[in-house]
Structure 1
């Protein structure tokens, strides 16, 4: 099963970032890891060090990519591979150099590492990665990152909602951090805002919003989220995290830090090529927003039509044959719908399936996911029929030849 890998300081067998001739970054598929990879890659670009960034959806995928030796096409300018470095962001099997630690956001590890190289990380990208990891900007170790952004006038806290677009109807409808009766439907958002006295045109024209308008929008979102049918007590805390955002008045690609984080999460899982381009600082805003909209629409649609089951400590959301993104569905359910601390979202199609586990607890899910994968492999005809990944308070499973009831039973067993 997955090991923690080696820290970058724990081995003398491989070169460090400062001396590597070519760097392969193999990253976990989430917003925190994607931001971390972008921070490191930008520092490498500034140093003139060739690099490659790829996204591995599971521990197994990252392990295979980290041990590949046929990447010559990606490093034509490098003749001797003895100074190559492969660095993994996320859990990995075997003896691999890993950037991050399991109990700390990868973004923090990345900013520490590039500062050691003498580089200055983009504080807005770093803040977005931290939000994706569930860290409130300025909390704990992130205080200096927020202060660095403030000193450069890159962020400004204001009333409103944390969405990536200047159009609040577009942002609220497709956000995977908000859930209300209007989710997935921009017209429904416009109607709710119009009823509150805030007019937002349907033609995509950027509205001229004053502070009072932003406050009204935040009030509408908060009241609708907690008053929505099926909303649990946790909805109040969840929606609060999406209010009073850090706006990005500079040249950041998205309107708020929280919205930036939402786009990183969506692209990491649904369009990793675009996500990598975005994290590297390329002009990928429009394709990233398109991927984010589709991701959010599918997530809300799937949650709306899902079946549910409640067990002791576990809330199961069955997507059935739908194509909803299980991790977004699980997180939305954990934040707004689940009376239990842990959510399992399951989707099946043509004999294969995927599932996501999200917990509101403080402890990491690594050992739980390993036990769950081991249990399911014992039920499967082939060991490689079950793959998994793990991040902060969330996990992902991909499997073949297993019934939904088997996955639920195994999850109940290990929790």
Structure 2
């Protein structure tokens, strides 16, 4: 090694010296007294000292405190007891002190060289400043992403609360009606939404819609569609004074929504069922826009599917919407739902299916509306063996209870 106390000039020694001299890592050889006996070129590059100055200096000049003051005692303890903590252990991270007093991170490996009673110690040092800087930059990027994720999670939570506010959580049941529902989005927010809306002249509006897709984009369209139900007289609410006459027919509402949410504008579509109930006669007027037909679970156990003509919202009136009617008798339950229920699969890939859904609803028709909804939800979870459903799961149950008016009729 250059500037090393050696004797002889064999070809083998010259080759070894050339290899050590060109090594990228710094190499320093010290005596048991801690004196530097040899260094290679990389040591000068790392620490900024000339090799001529380093030879004969204590190796502690390359160390910051407190290592500078205690290093020699470590060597002496090893020579006396044979106990060493770093000998033969590579990759140990230690600080180094350069000629200008800067502290740099190093990776250290130390080995012992013995020849008879002579002891030398060879240290291989790698400057890991760039690696540490990269790790620091990576950590800062991670923390930045973590903070952004926290903000995003906070925004999603706020969006979820907004979406929940559009569900019938604050709905005050009307006399003679019992309401229960389940809303279980596949993500934090979903593309399903439903609600009950008191209308003028003793009517109640009930709707459910399912936007294609999941997550934020679907939820934004769902919320926009829910808001549209209150605009441009799509739904005539009791909170709007001065408006008289019957509610807008369900088919007309779907036509207006179809015009307001064209596929080419939103790049998505949604299905929907809308039912208007005359609270005095219990007559149901209903229309569907490509949505799974609502079900009437009769008190007797009969199941009626409320089918109508009509296509998806967003296709520009490709197929006209129609309105049909039926009656919600005492003890009957009107069920509005989304396809996320019957399309959910179990681990074997078998779908839950409409038949299983109808069976559970029929079996629980004598329960309260909320218990009926909860029973179906629990049945679905048990079948799927998971709480993380593939699609948004929404269910609205409206049950007609016996009243004085019904009994008179």
TM over 0.5: no
TM-score (norm 2): 0.24
Higher relative contact order (CA 8 A, sep 6+): 1
More helix by share: 1
TM-score (norm 1): 0.24
More strand by share: 2
Larger Rg belongs to: 2
